[in-house]
Amino acid sequence: MLSRRSFMAGSAAGLALGNLPAHAAPVLTDDGLYTQSWFLQSFLELADDVQGAAQSGKRLAIMWELRGCPYCKETHLVNFAKPEIESYIKQHFEVLQLNIIGSREVTDFDGEKMSEKRLAGKYGVRFTPTFQFFPDKITGLAAKKPTEREVTRMQGYLEPQAFLNMFRFVAERAYEKGTLRDFLKANS
């Protein structure tokens, strides 16, 4: 059976003209956000996105951005431009890009449909960039308070090595043993 997620992935691959290099430069979109060619193309149904990522052996990360945000731009042009960072994230995560003031409709884990802007408010996302990381299973997520659905969150810009370590913290499930701050301190 063809899922909507696999249809989107196949459609995106089918639209590509020729082979892309291992690292493609970010693109500035019409809405003023930089984006990566490998970011998740989604129907914006978070439960489906977590399940789809898990089926690929990955985790879902949401990157919240805002047009004109200098640190969002820095994240794309510096951090994601480093091959070891891009490679690690692509191997372990599906990254969904959302606009903190956006109007696209998103379906939250509890089934509530709302704009990106309202979803940001529901989760208390106030700064960009903000990364939210979610568990690899949706079991019980709908019943939790929004901020309790995340395994961790990172607000603001991090230098490349700390940025990579943030993703390692989630991929290695280090949050089950300690705090992000301790992990970053031990791995910087």
| Nearest alpha carbon to residue 65 among 90, 31, 40, 106 | 31
Q: Of 82, 125, 102, 113, which is closest to residue 29 (Cα–Cα)?
A: 102
List the chain domain ranges: 25-186
* Per-residue pLDDT at 131 exceeds 60: yes
Distance CA 13, CA 179 (A): 38
The whole-angstrom separation of Cα 100 and Cα 47 is 19
* CATH code for the domain defined by 25-186: 3.40.30.10
Q: What is the DSSP letter of 148?
A: G
- CA quadruple 61, 63, 72, 6: dihedral, nearest 10: 80
- The pLDDT of 55-61, averaged and rounded, is 97
pLDDT at residue 41 tops 50: yes
pLDDT tens-place string over residues 144-188: 999 899 999 999 999 999 999 999 999 999 999 998 788 878 876
Mean pLDDT of the chain: 88
- Residue 20 is predicted with a pLDDT of 41
Q: How confident is the model at residue 22 (pLDDT cuts 50, 70, 90)?
A: low
Rounded to two decimals, the pTM is: 0.85
Which of 16-20, 119-123, 135-139, 140-144 has the least mean pLDDT? Answer: 16-20
The secondary structure of residue 62, as a DSSP letter, is E
Strands 105-107 and 130-133: unpaired
Give the pair of three-digit tokens for residue 143. Answer: 């019943």
**Higher-confidence residue: 13 or 96?**
96
Give the pLDDT confidence score for residue 23 in this predicted structure: 63
Asked whether 41 and 13 are in contact (CB, 8 A), the reply is no
Closest to 64 (Cα-Cα) out of 133, 12, 112, 5? 133
pLDDT digits (tens, 9 = 90+) for 92-107: 999 999 999 999 999 9
Q: Which of 57, 161, 45, 48 is nearest to 114 (CA)?
A: 45
